[in-house]
Amino acid sequence: MTTADKQILFACTQNAVRSVIAKGLFETKSYSPAGRAVSCGVIEGPLDGFVVAVLQEEGIDVSRHEAQVFEALDPANFELIVSFSREAEDRARRWANDGCKTLFWDVPPPHTNEWSRDTTLESYRQLRNQIDGLLADYFAVYHQKT
């Protein structure tokens, strides 16, 4: 794989919420010329229905997402790993090849309210928007350096 073919990896604990949101936003909004991303987790978790709902609001369909773990991937394929949990950050640093940049974005998981679907959805929207802003800021600076 050439440097131009390298991908970005978004990682979190279960590959169910934050990393899925980041991958969906990244690929849809074309933040980077590479435009290709993968998401994974320290462990596999079930796809979160609230993630599907809030990304669908943006026209992004992740309903076919299947969780995967670091071990299912080849570290040589990645030039950047963005982690959203300390567990994923630790795994990424130990797993990544030399020369792969690793970042930790301290984005807490969404708050759920078992009594209010609307409150839970709003928390997921805030999470989506926070990740979207981080992607926009990071890749705007990245493009200025290249």
Domain segments of the chain as ranges: 3-145
Burial class (CB in 10 A: 0-12, 13-18, 19+), 71: exposed
With cut-offs at 50, 70 and 90, classify the pLDDT of residue 139.
confident
Q: Which residue has the higher pLDDT, 80 or 31?
A: 80
Q: What b/e readout covers 82-107, taking b as 16+ CB neighbours within 10 angstroms? A: bbbbebbbebbeebbeeebebebbeb
pLDDT at 141: 66
Task: Kindly list the strands in the beta sheet with 78-83, ordered across the sheet, starting from the edge strand earlier in the chain.
Answer: 37-41, 7-12, 78-83, 101-104
With cut-offs at 50, 70 and 90, classify the pLDDT of residue 142.
low
- pTM comes to 0.91
For domain 3-145, give the CATH number.
3.40.50.2300
